[in-house]
A and B are shown apart, each in its own frame.
Chain A
Amino acid sequence: MRRLLGGLIVLAGIAFLLLLFSWLKPAEPVANEMAANTDVQGEQQAQQAAEQLRAAKPSTPSETAAAKPRIVIEKGHRVSGPEVIRVKQGAAVTVEFLSDQSAELHLHGYDHHLHLQANKVAQLALVAEHSGRFEYELHGKAQGAHHALGVIEVTPQ
């Protein structure tokens, strides 16, 4: 009898925690086309969808600026642009970089390399297939090399 009670207490606890979990877990966003496209074929669709959604929204200056963040690098330090660029998994994002010196930019995780020419805007385009926190930094002999300049955070779906 007492064993049964003990067992029931444990089961009740587990049931309560499961209920609490499903109650707290945020509902998946319904109208997010980009999140659904995580396969390779969907890449182009994702980019098209992104363009369409951007075109469909009334474009305010802040929104167009947010669509293509620009990171300005001087002497190996990030002087302008967001420290954290947040995107949803599956979204296509383009980040612009402007460096005063020629350098090699490396995005960890995705292992993207981008060659930056002095005072010329370069674009890093990627589809955020993998979720996580990815730092980018300069490599090679440039000033400020191997110091993380910023991070791209991809939130999972």
Chain B
Amino acid sequence: MTLKCRTLAAFTFALLPNISWAHSFGQVYNLPVPFWLYGWGAAAALVASFVVVGYFLAMPVPQAMRSTGDLTGTAVAKWARRLHLLSLAKLLSVAGLLLCVATGLWGTNGPYGNFNMTFFWIVFLLGFTYFTALVGDVYALINPWRLLASGIQRIYPEYGRGLWVYPVSLGHWPALLLYGGFIWLELFGGTTPYSLALCLCAYSLFNFIGIALVGARDWFRYIEFLSLFFRLVAKMAPLDISEKEAGKVRVTWRMPFAGLLDKPAEDFSVLLFILFMLSSTAFDGLHETVVWQRLFWVDLYHSLLAQWLGANPLAAFPQMSKLLLLWQSFWLLLSPFIYWLILILCLWCMRWAATSPLSLRALALAFAPTLLPIALVYNISHYYTLIQTQGVKIVTLASDPFGRGWDLFGTGNWLQGTIIPDAGTVWHVQVGLIVLGHIVSVYMAHKLALQLFPTQRQAILSQLPMLLLMVLFTVAGLWIMSEPIKTGM
């Protein structure tokens, strides 16, 4: 391929701003993190990891004591019960879902003027996730589909029992596949208020039919992907919320992140789910960068595709555009497996370093939850400014959910200007959070190693490969955030 052809390909690539594979929703005004800060972050991750190792070497082996306590009988809990907070939350949850559907079907199709886009993508998917990380698995109590299903069950008592027994050997694969599809929709689906309402209706129908077939308990454990998602996020919270029987909610407090060591991931599909939480956010950041786009439009075209699509990049443009979606989707869905390969390599080294009789599978399932803090901080770093710029507008949208010019609560004209977070502050928050999340992950992995391996020496040796793995994931995340972004993405 000639230099002229390469230049032409690069020129075509430069024309790219004219295709908008726009983010599903929400304006992000963040600048790429400057190199010095990225470098510091990477160095900090490495140094902090060794400080943790040093700390564990110095400290005597801790007793297996767990700070925990039951909050169910406390004054706060009684106050919450008296105010019927849980019932209120349940009502708001179902109302939120129904309002999202209604505004999508009958409201404005402008994404920023409709209640449902901001409520679902930002208030729910971002805000409620961070809330769950702080407060615990509230979703298990207020899941709107679970509530609607139990409503149906009041009329038809046989409803939630299920016709078939769910084959437990399938594990959580249905939830993983649904989650994969959902993330694909978020990144590439280009949802509008109308299409979002349709998706919510379809998902609701899917849930209702599924519960009839398989029974509510197994459905919400193995198949409803949001239940699994919030259950995993809630492992990091200092509150452990569980509902043993209907109506009896038990709340215990524990050290933050202690829930990560409670029990290992249930099976391989949950392991992949956790890895996908991490890899999909990383991919979201990556696919917008100049370097990734160049890989497709210039390098891949030049080295491979030009043979089929012709040497003229301008002529090949339309077909390349169609291929782009396939290419992106392929890498999105492959990303957790790439992370899995790196994890297995690390665990193999760990097993060798600690001379442990535990199998690779057992180690993988045990250590997978310790990656969750990295996934959480990466999610926050990447998306939190959306809450600042768009999420707060829910106050205005609540007064005018259908976008018809209503003013139900008097807040219709609030927050007219755009709130732009200071780029410098954003950088420091992003890098700071990522380093903190990294430290938490390394620390919890060490604690787990002390539980799994017989001697302190073996435990600490075993953590060196794990440390490298986490540094790799963290630095990759930081690098993605420091890369220039392609305009139009």
Contacts and interface: CB of A to CB of B under 8 A. Distances in A.
Interface of A: 2-3, 5-6, 9-10, 12-13, 16-17, 20-21, 24-26, 76-78, 83-84, 108-111, 130-135, 144, 146-151, 153-157
B150 to A, nearest CB: 43
B321 to A, nearest CB: 13
Interface stretch (B24-32, B216-224, B228-236, B275-283): B24-32
Give the 9 A-B residue pairs with the shortest CB-CB distance, closest first: A13-B51, A132-B29, A131-B423, A156-B424, A6-B58, A130-B420, A5-B58, A148-B488, A9-B54
Contacts of A131: 31, 420, 422-424
Interface stretch (B42-50, B160-168, B308-316, B373-381): B42-50
Interface stretch (B13-21, B171-179, B297-305): B13-21
A13 B18 CA distance: 48
Contacts of B488: 135, 147-148
B60 interface: yes
17 contacts: A2-B58, A3-B59, A3-B60, A6-B58, A9-B51, A10-B51, A17-B43, A20-B47, A24-B36, A24-B39, A84-B487, A132-B420, A133-B31, A133-B423, A147-B488, A149-B487, A150-B487
Given A131-B423, A151-B487, A109 B27 contact: yes
B51 A83 contact: no
Contact of B420 (A6, A84, A109, A153): A109
Contacts of A24: 36-37, 39-40
A110 B417 CA distance: 9
Interface string B50-83: 1100110011100000000000000000000000
A2 B60 contact: yes
A5 to B, nearest CB: 4
Contact of A148 (B17, B39, B40, B58): B17
B65 to A, nearest CB: 16
Contacts of B22: 148
A156 B44 contact: no
Contacts of B58: 2-3, 5-6, 9
Given A9-B51, A17-B47, A21-B40, A83 B422 contact: no
Contacts of B426: 132
Nearest to A75: B18
Contacts of A154: 423
Nearest to B423: A131
A151 B484 CA distance: 12
A10 to B, nearest CB: 6
A79 to B, nearest CB: 9
Given A108-B27, A130-B420, A131-B422, A26 B36 contact: yes
A147 B16 CA distance: 10
Given A20-B44, A155-B423, A133 B485 contact: yes
A132 B29 CA distance: 5
Contacts of A16: 47
Contacts of B59: 2-3, 6
Contacts of A13: 47-48, 50-51, 54
Given A3-B59, A6-B58, A25-B37, 15 more contacts: A2-B60, A6-B54, A9-B54, A17-B44, A20-B44, A24-B40, A76-B18, A109-B420, A131-B31, A131-B422, A133-B30, A135-B487, A147-B17, A148-B22, A156-B31
Contacts of A20: 40, 43-44, 47
Contacts of A108: 27, 29, 418
B405 interface: no
A147 B418 CA distance: 20
B181 interface: no
Nearest to A153: B31
Contacts of B31: 131-133, 153, 155-156
Contacts of B454: none
A157 B17 CA distance: 28
Nearest to A157: B424
B421 interface: yes
Interface in B174-216: none
A139 B29 CA distance: 19
A96 B156 CA distance: 68
B414 to A, nearest CB: 16
Contact of A146 (B20, B29, B47, B485): B20
Contacts of B422: 130-131, 156
Interface string B343-382: 0000000000000000000000000000000000000000
